[in-house]
Amino acid sequence: MSDNDGKKTLGLRGSRPGQVKQSFSHGRTKNVVVETKRKRVVVPKQGAAAGGSGKAPAGGDPRKRPAGISDAEMERRMKALQAAKSREVEEAAKREAEEKAREEERKRRREEAEAKERAEREREEALKAKAEEEARKKREAEEAKAARAKPTPAAAADPAAAQAAEQRGTGKPSSAPRKKDDRGGANDRQNRGNKGGRDDGRRSGKLTVNQAMRGGDGRQRSVASMRRKQERARQKAMGESVEREKVIRDVQVPEAIVVSELANRMAERVADVVKSLMKMGMMVTQNQAIDADTAELIIEEFGHKIVRVSDADVEDVIDSVEDNEDDLEDRAPIITIMGHVDHGKTSLLDAIRDAKVTAGEAGGITQHIGAYQVTTDSGTTLSFLDTPGHAAFTSMRARGAQVTDIVVLVVAADDSVMPQTIEAINHAKAAEVPMIVAINKCDKPTANPDQVRAELLQHEVIVEKMSGDVQDVEVSAITGAGLDELLEAIALQSEILELKANPKRAASGAVIEAQLDVGRGPVATVLVQNGTLKQGDIFVVGEQWGKVRALVNDHGDRVKEAGPSVPVEVLGLNGTPEAGDVLNVVDTEAQAREIAEYREQAAKDKRAAAGAATTLEQMMAKAKADKDVAELPILVKADVQGSAEAIVQAMEKIGNDEVRVRVLHYGVGAITETDVGLAEASGAPVIGFNVRANASARNSANQKGVEIRYYSVIYDLVDDVKAAASGLLSAEVRENFIGYAEIREVFKVSGVGKVAGCLVTEGVARRSAGVRLLRDNVVIHEGTLKTLKRFKDEVKEVLSGQECGMAFENYDDIRPNDVIEIFEREEVERSLD
Ligand code: GDP
């Protein structure tokens, strides 16, 4: 025990002073460490025994050891403790090793990543360096050139040159500017030194030129890589955000939808949609329409939901909301003048407008509805529809009554009530439009207004003078008597009607006239019924759509907008609508196009259904029923809707016991191949009224033996058909088309005027023949040739495929792309049936 004690005490005490002594002569640190380590190993052995018992808090001092513990027990405990301690140490070492390994692994990865990035940077940098190197070489070469050109002192004095020299100092020295370098050498060196100090410190100052270059690049490189990083981050962010924002949409699809619109409705990129269509083997552009089934596949692919809408639903976008009472404002009444032919409708309209419209129209009759506005003395604005006077225009008059607020029934006091007067009364009644009777021609001695009133009574029109409620005014369009009274009567009637509209909403209106205008394209006269039509508005009108390019009012002035009851000519249509079509402003072109396409298809289906019924069943039945009545079928194409309808009306009136005219089809615009096809099927001629067949239609007519006849005056047409129908055909002058030429260029030749440089595209051009000038298949001039030249010589004939010069007699308005129709007249025995 005591031994133990002594040892312990000695060991402890002895080791410490020894250590100190040793360290005294040899240097403290080493010794202390060694001794401490040893001590640490030893001390716990003893101290731990005490600690291990759990009863002695400190040291292995046997004196402090608790009683009842033997030495053997003590030793055992010490051993156990030592084992535990060494285990602990081992574990700590292991942990340390692991930690180190992990750290190394991390470091390695970091280095790898850095190396990668460095490699990438270096690659780019190398490219850039190369480019710079080249640029520098070029610059140097240029400088060298300049230096050679300039005398040396001047170059030295030049500060720019000195700077250039300095730059060269950091770059690759070249032999040419050597002298300069030498001259500014001291300066140069100093600068270089400064530069080094400024930029990168001593190290870069010591670096080689190449390294310095790389150092310079390094700065740029980091900017570039920074940008790349930012770009990557941005793309990542965007990609993530797109995914995050991906919303499943309900996509409305009608029976057909334009690709771009489909993409729009899915809120996807058009290119992506086109791409996936291509993957499905459909090569379509963004402006093409696809059917709903295809659209469904695409919509599913993009993860959206399809909502099929019925075709008719496309019309739902048309604003049909009821107007608010507060938004309503007074509007001008729309007046239609009706009456029997020659009772003075045109004269009355003229008298009211104070202008003449009778002159200047083909055949001298009003062939289409126009409209104008006048203001009465009392300040009321009235909008007049210019109803045509020909009896054949009945159907348009019926339409006119639909937009009409008030009908002025013109009855000539010397003629009284006639068939068309009765028709007019019936139209007005059917449309529930109030009537005002204008008893015209009261200036005539034979005038008998009271007889008119009495006769009207028979048709249930009871005028005020006969104690009824229909206003009647005695007027004279010639003297102007009673006109003011008539206008005031209209104003009073309109006040009773309390006509209102909301100018603030999207416009709606009715087409009162439409035509294919040479130069301006399709033009429609629209009477705005509600809202305000503005330039730039997108609209659908019947089966057509468009964007208002320009608005022209009844004075021929351009206007920016047209409010309720204002008639305007609308430009910017994609096709010619029909009189009576309704115009509606919509929000987008896609909507407008969709509605127009839907209507076109619906109309086509309807026509097909009706056509099938007429041609197959009805025609057969009819042919059987009245065997002895021959039918003369015709097809009518005209430049204006009004003319087409007039012709149809006139045609249907023709007929006797033996023959009847049947209009198979009529429309506006050039004669097309479809028309010819239909005509051939029914053995009908095609009538072109101020329009021509296009080239393909002409060819197919020639092949199929379909007759195409052209007219520009309705009466001529009516007479011809009448003659044909009655079988009273005599020798007649007939036109043969002998050739067509296309105007390529227009020259001005002094003394001759405008000369057309043409290519004869078909047949032959003959000096003596008659010519017509066609623009977009519409006749704009008919006459004779002044010259026909081949090279500089006047010739009689130019054949197809050859070029020639042509000039018209007394006509100058020729333009490139116009077509010249060349025809000859011959006397023939002809038959239409
Ligand atoms: P519309 O066919 O109904 O348009 O009739 P017009 O306006 O063309 O007129 C037919 C003819 O009647 C013309 O010769 C006019 O000069 C004549 N006329 C029209 N109004 C009057 C009138 O108030 N008095 C007289 N004396 N003649 C008239």
Integer Cα distance of 300 and 286 in angstroms: 19
Tell me the β-bridge partners of 823: 737, 770
DSSP 592: H
Residue 343 Cα to ligand 1 middle (Å): 6
Residue nearest (by alpha carbon) to ligand 1 atom 27: 441
Atom of ligand 1 nearest to the CA of 440: 23
Residue among 342, 443, 483 whose CB has most ligand 1 atoms within 8 A, to mutate: 342
482: helix, coil or strand?
A: coil
Q: What was the pLDDT predicted at 160?
A: 46
Integer Cα distance of 371 and 527 in angstroms: 8
345 lines ligand 1 (CB under 6 A): yes
Integer Cα distance of 745 and 687 in angstroms: 31
Which residue in this structure is represented by tokens 């052995």?
45
Residue nearest (by alpha carbon) to ligand 1 atom 18: 344
Residue 650 Cα to ligand 1 middle (Å): 22
Radius of gyration of the chain (CA): 51
Query: Are the C-beta atoms of 690 and 796 separated by less than 8 Å?
Result: no
Residue 211 has pLDDT above 70, yes or no: no
Q: Which of 290-299, 457-466, 520-529, 617-626 has the lowest mean pLDDT?
A: 617-626
Residue nearest (by alpha carbon) to ligand 1 atom 9: 344
Query: Are the C-beta atoms of 784 and 770 separated by less than 8 Å?
Result: yes
What's the CA angle centered on 572, arms 568 and 577, to 5 degrees?
Answer: 75
331 lines ligand 1 (CB under 6 A): no
The amino acid sitting at 684 is A
Choose which CATH entry (3.30.413.10, 2.40.30.10, 3.30.70.100, 1.10.10.10) describes domain 508-605.
2.40.30.10
Confidence of residue 449 (pLDDT cuts 50, 70, 90): very high
Atom of ligand 1 nearest to the CA of 343: 3
Q: Which of 268-282, 653-667, 679-693, 725-739 has the lowest mean pLDDT?
A: 725-739
Query: Are the C-beta atoms of 106 and 77 separated by less than 8 Å?
Result: no
Regarding the domain delimited by 614-726, which CATH topology (the fold level of the hierarchy) does it fall under? Rossmann fold (3.40.50)
How confident is the prediction for the chain on average, in pLDDT? 74
Residue 817 has pLDDT above 80, yes or no: yes
342 lines ligand 1 (CB under 6 A): yes
441 lines ligand 1 (CB under 6 A): yes
Atom of ligand 1 nearest to the CA of 349: 7
Pairing type for strands 500-501 and 558-559 reads unpaired
Taking the mean position of all CA atoms in its chain, how far away is CA 131? 44
Atom of ligand 1 nearest to the CA of 476: 23
Choose which CATH entry (3.30.360.10, 2.40.50.140, 3.90.650.10, 3.40.50.300) describes domain 333-498.
3.40.50.300
What digits encode the pLDDT tens for the residues 345-381? 888 988 887 643 333 333 333 334 478 888 888 888 8
478 lines ligand 1 (CB under 6 A): yes
346 lines ligand 1 (CB under 6 A): yes
Class of domain 732-828: mainly beta
Q: What was the pLDDT predicted at 11?
A: 40
Query: Are the C-beta atoms of 758 and 804 separated by less than 8 Å?
Result: yes
Q: What was the pLDDT predicted at 130?
A: 74
Q: What was the pLDDT predicted at 413?
A: 94
Q: Which of 52-66, 356-370, 458-472 holds the top average pLDDT?
A: 458-472
Share of the chain above pLDDT 70, in %: 70
Residue among 336, 346, 347, 365 whose CB has most ligand 1 atoms within 8 A, to mutate: 347
Residue 452 Cα to ligand 1 middle (Å): 17
The two structure tokens encoding residue 173: 């020295």
Confidence of residue 137 (pLDDT cuts 50, 70, 90): confident
pLDDT, greater one: 519 or 727? 519
What's the CA angle centered on 673, arms 672 and 675, to 5 degrees?
Answer: 70
Q: What was the pLDDT predicted at 765?
A: 92
Q: Which of 110-124, 187-201, 231-245, 447-461 holds the top average pLDDT?
A: 447-461
Residue 458 Cα to ligand 1 middle (Å): 25
476 lines ligand 1 (CB under 6 A): yes
Same topology, domains 333-498 and 508-605? Answer is no
Q: What was the pLDDT predicted at 557?
A: 82
Neighbouring CB atoms inside 10 A of 290's CB total 21
347 lines ligand 1 (CB under 6 A): yes
Mean pLDDT calculated for residue range 496-516: 89
Q: What was the pLDDT predicted at 117?
A: 75
The two structure tokens encoding residue 604: 């086509």
Mean pLDDT calculated for residue range 482-503: 92
Residue 823 has pLDDT above 60, yes or no: yes
pLDDT, greater one: 826 or 773? 773
Q: What was the pLDDT predicted at 511?
A: 87
Residue 204 has pLDDT above 60, yes or no: no
Atom of ligand 1 nearest to the CA of 351: 20
pLDDT, greater one: 607 or 246? 246
Confidence of residue 421 (pLDDT cuts 50, 70, 90): confident
pLDDT, greater one: 828 or 336? 336
Tell me the β-bridge partners of 788: 806
> 3-class secondary structure for 593-627?
HHHHHHHHHHHHHHHHHHHHHHHHHHHHHHHHHCC
What digits encode the pLDDT tens for the residues 274-316? 999 888 888 888 888 888 888 888 999 898 988 887 666 667 7
3-state helix, strand and coil shares in percent for the chain, rounded to the nearest 5? 50, 25, 25
Integer Cα distance of 340 and 610 in angstroms: 33
Torsion, Cα of 408, 411, 413, 417 (10° steps): -140
833: helix, coil or strand?
A: coil
Could you tell me the pTM of the whole model? 0.44
Neighbouring CB atoms inside 10 A of 607's CB total 11
Mean pLDDT calculated for residue range 570-598: 88
Mean pLDDT calculated for residue range 654-671: 76
Residue 619 has pLDDT above 90, yes or no: no
Task: State the binding site for GTP.
Answer: 339-346, 386-390, 440-443
443 lines ligand 1 (CB under 6 A): yes
**Backbone dihedral region for residue 735 (phi beyond 0: left; psi -120 to 50: alpha; all else: beta):** beta
pLDDT, greater one: 343 or 615? 343
Inter-CA distances, 336 with 409, 510, 519, 713, Å: 8, 14, 30, 25
Atom of ligand 1 nearest to the CA of 340: 3
Query: Are the C-beta atoms of 393 and 339 separated by less than 8 Å?
Result: no
Share of the chain above pLDDT 90, in %: 18
Q: What was the pLDDT predicted at 604?
A: 73
Q: Which of 117-131, 134-148, 303-317 has the lowest mean pLDDT?
A: 134-148
Residue 347 Cα to ligand 1 middle (Å): 5
444 lines ligand 1 (CB under 6 A): yes
Integer Cα distance of 672 and 695 in angstroms: 9
Task: State the binding site.
Answer: 339-346, 386-390, 440-443
Residue spans of the domains in the chain: they are: 73-170+221-237, 250-309, 333-498, 508-605, 614-726, 732-828
Pairing type for strands 435-440 and 406-412 reads parallel
What digits encode the pLDDT tens for the residues 709-761? 888 888 888 887 777 666 534 445 567 788 999 999 998 888 778 899 999 99
Residue nearest (by alpha carbon) to ligand 1 atom 2: 342
Q: What was the pLDDT predicted at 13?
A: 42
Taking the mean position of all CA atoms in its chain, how far away is CA 317? 18
Which residue in this structure is represented by tokens 């006849």?
709
